[in-house]
Amino acid sequence: MQKFLKLNIFVLLINLVIFYFPAHSEEPKIFIETITKEASKILSSDISKFEKMSGLKVIAKENVDIKGIGLYTLGSHRKNLTDSKKKEYLDLFNKYFLKSFSSRLAEYSDPKINVLSQKKLNEKYTIVSSILLATDKRPEVKIDWRVYTKNKEKPLIRDLIIEGLSLARTQKEEFNSVITSSDNGIEGLFSNLKNFIKN
Amino acid sequence: MKKLILTLVFGFFFCLNSTASENEETTKDCFEKLNKGIFAFNQGLDKAIFKPLAKGYRILPSPIRTGVGNSLNNLSNLTTIPNNILQGEIKLAGQNTLRFVINTTIGILGIFDPASSMGLEEYIKEDYGQTLGSWGAGPGCYLILPIFGPTTSRDLVGTVVSLAGGDTWYNVTVRNDTQYFSDFDYYFSRVGSGIDFRAKNLESLDNLEENSLDFYASVKSLYLQDRKQKVLNSDVIINTQDDSDWDDLETK
C-alpha cells in the first residue's frame, strides 16, 4: 500500500512538472487574444478619451517591448550613443511611444478584432494574424503581430504589421530621417520627441 | 502595340540600369528637396479639395460606396489582366478575365461582385510598375508627383506604359475616339478612385499625420514597403524583415 502511495505521489509530481509548468508559458495567439479583448473593452466603454488613453497605456507598458522597439528604431545610430544619452533617449521614447500608441488607438470606438492564427518564425518570433473587422467608415484591415517569444512565460509585442506594412520599420525610417535632416543629429530627434510629448 | 512593347522594354532596361533589385533595402530620394516641396503642395491640395470631397463621399450610404468601389475595382481588371500575363500568371489572367465578364454582366457594370460569391479567388490588382519589378527592375528613385503623390522612377515608367496603350480603359476613353465612351469617363473614374481611396483612409491618414515626427518620411516608408510587397506578391515584410537590428537587443 505504501509502495503504491509513493508511486502515486511520484506520478503526481511528474504530471505537475509536465503539465503545470508549460501551462504557464503563454501561447502567442492566446496572448494577443487576451490583449485585444482588454483593449476592446476599454475602447467600447463609456469613458473619456483621456481615461481610454490611460487604460491603453497600462496595457502597452505590460505587453509591449517598448525598450526593444526604442532601440530598434534608432537603428545604427544607437551604436554612437553614450550610456547616459541612451538612457535619456529611452526615457523620451517611452513617453513618446505611450502617448502616440494610446492616442492612435483611442480614435477607434468598439473595434472588433478576430485573432485567426499564429506562425512560428523561429525561437524568438511568432507572427499572430488577425483581422480588424470592417465598419461603415473603413474596410477590413489585416493586422499581424510580431511577438517576441524568447521568454515563453512573458511574450512581448515588438511590431504591428498592418496590411503588410511594419510600424516599427516605418518608425525607424522616420527617426532616421529626423536625425539625418537635422543639423544637430540625434539632438534634433531628442528635441522633436520632447515637443511631441509636451504638446 | 509596337509602341507599347517598345515602351515596356525600354522601361525595363532603364530601371534595370538605374538601380538595384527589389530585395535591396534602399530606394534613393534623389530629388528630396523638390519632393518635399511637391509633398507640401499636395498636402495643401488635399486639405482644400480631396479631404472635403472624401468627407462628402462618406455621407453617401454604405451600399452606394461599396458599389462605386466594386465598379472601380472591376475597371482595374483591364490593367491587371495584361500584367498577369506579362508576369506569367496565365491561370490568374483567366480567372480575372472570368471575374471581369461576370461582374460586368451579371454584376451590372461591376457595381456588384457576384464573382467573389461564386468562389473566384480574391482579386489582387497588378500594374506595369509591378510587372517591371517582377522582371527584376529595381524601384529607382523615390518621387512625388503633383496631385498623384508618391511613386518611383520604375512605377512612373509603368504609368507611361499604361498611357502608351497598356490600359484598355484609357484606350477606349481617351486615346481612341469611340462612340461609346468619352474622355470624361476616364478622368471621372480616376478622380473617383482617388476620392474612394481617401475616404477609406480618412482617419488613418489623419492619425498618421498627427502622430508623426516627420510625416514625409512616414509616407515614404509606407509607400515603399507597400510597393515592395506588391511586386513580390507575398508577405515579404514578415518573412524577410531584417532581424539583425533586433538581434543584439536583450531588453526584458
Stated as kind and residue range, the H or E segment containing A117 is strand A113-120
Contact call for A68 and B245, based on CB within 8 A? no
Q: How far apart are alpha carbons B193 and B176 in whole angstroms?
A: 22
Of B203, B221, B245, the CB nearest to A170: B221
Q: How far is CA A23 from the centre of its chain?
A: 22
Which residues on chain B are in Cβ contact (under 8 Å) with A146? 238, 241
CA distance to A67, A124, A148, A196, B39, per residue, from A151 (Å): 15, 8, 8, 33, 44
The minimum CA-CA distance between A62 and chain B, rounded to whole Å, is: 11
Which residues on chain A are in Cβ contact (under 8 Å) with B243? 124-125
Establish if B122 belongs to a structural domain.
no
For B60-88, what is the mean pLDDT? 94
Name the band, by pLDDT with cuts 50, 70 and 90, for residue A101. confident
Q: How far apart are alpha carbons B76 and B156 in whole angstroms?
A: 17
Answer yes or no: is pLDDT of A24 > 50.
no
At B82 the three-state DSSP class reads: helix
In the prediction, which pLDDT does A121 show? 87
- State pLDDT tens for residues B36-46: 999 999 999 99
For A153-166, what is the mean pLDDT? 90
Answer yes or no: is pLDDT of B144 > 60.
yes
Name the band, by pLDDT with cuts 50, 70 and 90, for residue A19. very low
In the prediction, which pLDDT does A21 show? 42
Contact call for B252 and A144, based on CB within 8 A? no
At A48 the three-state DSSP class reads: coil
Name the band, by pLDDT with cuts 50, 70 and 90, for residue B122. confident
Do the Cβ atoms of B237 and B229 come closer than 8 Å? yes
- State pLDDT tens for residues B185-239: 999 999 999 999 999 889 889 989 988 999 999 999 999 999 998 998 876 555 5
Q: What is the end-to-end Cα distance of chain B in Å, rounded?
A: 61
Which residue from B46, B27, B47, B15 is spatially nearest to B217, judged by alpha carbons? B27
Which residue from B73, B164, B157, B58 is spatially nearest to B122, judged by alpha carbons? B73
Q: How far apart are alpha carbons A84 and A150 in whole angstroms?
A: 27
The three cell numbers locating residue B26:
534602399
Mean confidence (pLDDT) of chain A: 84
Do the Cβ atoms of B35 and B144 come closer than 8 Å? yes
Establish if B22 belongs to a structural domain.
yes
Angle, alpha carbons B105-B109-B111 (nearest 5°)? 115
Answer yes or no: is pLDDT of B168 > 60.
yes
Name the band, by pLDDT with cuts 50, 70 and 90, for residue B126. very high
Within chain A, where are the H helices?
Answer: 2-15, 21-24, 28-44, 49-63, 66-74, 83-106, 167-181, 186-198
Asked if the C-beta of A117 comes within 8 angstroms of chain B's C-beta atoms, the answer is: no
In degrees and rounded to multiples of 5, residue B110 shows phi and psi of 85, 5
Which residues on chain B are in Cβ contact (under 8 Å) with A136? 62
Q: For testing the chain A interface, which of B208, B230, B246, B247 should be mutated: the one with the most A CBs within 10 Å?
A: B246
Count up the domains in chain B and report the number. Answer: 1
In the prediction, which pLDDT does A78 show? 87
Q: How far apart are alpha carbons A34 and A28 in whole angstroms?
A: 10
Query: Considering only residues 163 to 202 of chain B, which have any Cβ-Cβ distance to chain A shorter than 8 Å?
Result: 200-202
Asked if the C-beta of A125 comes within 8 angstroms of chain B's C-beta atoms, the answer is: yes
pTM above 0.90, yes or no: no
- State pLDDT tens for residues B89-110: 999 999 999 999 999 999 999 9
Answer yes or no: is pLDDT of A14 > 50.
no
For A139-144, what is the mean pLDDT? 88
- State pLDDT tens for residues A34-81: 999 988 888 888 888 888 888 989 999 999 999 999 999 998 898 888
- Strands A156-162, B149-152: parallel, antiparallel or unpaired by DSSP? unpaired
Residues 6+ apart with CB under 8 A from A198: none
Q: Which residue range(s) make up the domain with B177?
A: 2-61+137-248
Establish if B241 belongs to a structural domain.
yes
Answer yes or no: is pLDDT of B24 > 80.
no
Residue-range domains of chain A with CATH: 2-184 (3.10.450.710)
Which residues on chain B are in Cβ contact (under 8 Å) with A189? 213
Mean confidence (pLDDT) of chain B: 86
The four Cα atoms B135, B224, B147, B60 give a dihedral, to 10 degrees, of: 100
Asked if the C-beta of A127 comes within 8 angstroms of chain B's C-beta atoms, the answer is: yes
| ipTM value for the complex | 0.79
Do the Cβ atoms of A178 and B217 come closer than 8 Å? yes
